[in-house]
Amino acid sequence: VDTHDEIGDLAHTINTMAEKLEKVEQERHHLEQVRNDFLANVSHELRTPLTAMQGFLEALQDGLVEDEEARQKYYAVMYSETMQVNRLVDDLMDLMKLENNEVNLAKFPVDVAEVMNRVAFSFRQEAEEKGLQLVVEAEAELPRIYADKDRVAQILKNLLKNALKFTTAGEIRMTAGLQEQWMRIQVQDTGMGIAADDLDRIWERFFKVDRGRSKNNKGTGLGLAIVKELVELHDGVCRVESVPGEGSTFTILLPIMPVSPVSLVKQGP
Ligand code: ADP
């Protein structure tokens, strides 16, 4: 009877191990797929500007562009394509470091309104040229948040860049206010909006809504993935709401500066 039991146990153990092996194999397969998708995306994003540059270079080389004005235009386009490659590599490196937990935040008390105004300032001209209103509104006497100022600026920059890119008329509104223990920062636009089916996916790296239609979208598809990583690194939350044809609202909640231990110490009589 003992031997019988032992064989039964053994068979059970073998079954369990086989199941585990299968799970590991499935996981390995999944990781391989993620890796392949990633490489395919990087290749695609690199090839697009490189193919454009190659075409222009060939035309120049073959002496097909005769007048100086046209030549200058070709140079300008090629220059902007090299910038696109640079942006992609920068974003990629940044995202990789974030995903590998290699980014250390330099956290200090930050005045969000000040960062908002500084970032908005750098977009004013672009907004004006597109005929868009750029409004910045912060509630009075907001507390500082404990955060990495440059990274908060990067978050706002990425959101504003998108708002400008996907809006052709109306206004872009960046606001800050308190929401319980959070600092709520919102970037609202009156642009093309995002379809409900795509809303969950826009935070994925390389995801762009309707690649065909957004051919002119000089983005890398990494901006929001970086935003999400940065916000989560700050123990914050990202949300998005959108109505196609009406506009989008991106909301970032960041924890307010923790009460410093010093201020908890009872002051003497
Ligand atoms: P990209 O570099 O393409 O802007 P992002 O990661 O920043 O990459 O955004 C991913 C996609 O989400 C964009 O390509 C666009 O389709 C969509 N998206 C982001 N922000 C907006 C917005 N404010 N309005 C409409 N669509 C947006």
**Whose alpha carbon is nearest atom 7 of ligand 1?**
223
**Closest Cα partner for 187 from 223, 210, 161, 150?**
161
Give the chain's largest Cα–Cα span: 97
| Most ligand 1 atoms within 8 A of CB, residue of 162, 197, 206 to mutate | 162
Helix axes 223-233, 149-165, angle to 10 degrees: 150
Measured from the CB, is residue 221 less than 6 Å from ligand 1?
yes
Q: Are 132 and 167 in contact (CB under 8 A)?
A: yes
Predicted confidence at residue 166, as pLDDT, reads: 96
Residue 152 CA to ligand 1 center (angstroms) comes to 18
Residue 193 CA to ligand 1 center (angstroms) comes to 9
Predicted confidence at residue 88, as pLDDT, reads: 94
Measured from the CB, is residue 223 less than 6 Å from ligand 1?
yes
**Whose alpha carbon is nearest atom 25 of ligand 1?**
193
Q: How far is CA 152 from CA 42, 227, 231, in A?
A: 26, 9, 8
**Closest Cα partner for 187 from 210, 204, 164, 205?**
164
Q: Are 175 and 189 in contact (CB under 8 A)?
A: no
**Closest Cα partner for 137 from 191, 186, 189?**
186
Predicted confidence at residue 210, as pLDDT, reads: 73
Measured from the CB, is residue 95 less than 6 Å from ligand 1?
no
**Whose alpha carbon is nearest atom 12 of ligand 1?**
202
Below-50 pLDDT ranges, the chain: 261, 263-269
Quote the CA–CA distance of 160 and 79 in Å, as a whole number. 24
Residue 82 falls in which region: left (phi positive, over 0), alpha (psi -120 to 50) or beta: alpha
Tell the residue number behind the tokens 């974003």, with chain if given. 91
Residue 258 CA to ligand 1 center (angstroms) comes to 32
**ipTM topping 0.95:** yes
Q: Which atom of ligand 1 is nearest to the CA of 161?
A: 4
Q: Are 109 and 143 in contact (CB under 8 A)?
A: no
Q: Are 178 and 142 in contact (CB under 8 A)?
A: yes
Measured from the CB, is residue 192 less than 6 Å from ligand 1?
yes
CB-count burial class (<10 Å; 0-12, 13-18, 19+) for 171? middle
Q: Looking at the DSSP assignment, which residues form a beta bridge with residue 240? A: 250
Q: Are 145 and 105 in contact (CB under 8 A)?
A: no
Predicted confidence at residue 258, as pLDDT, reads: 64
Number of alpha carbons in the 13 Å side-chain half-sphere of residue 128: 6
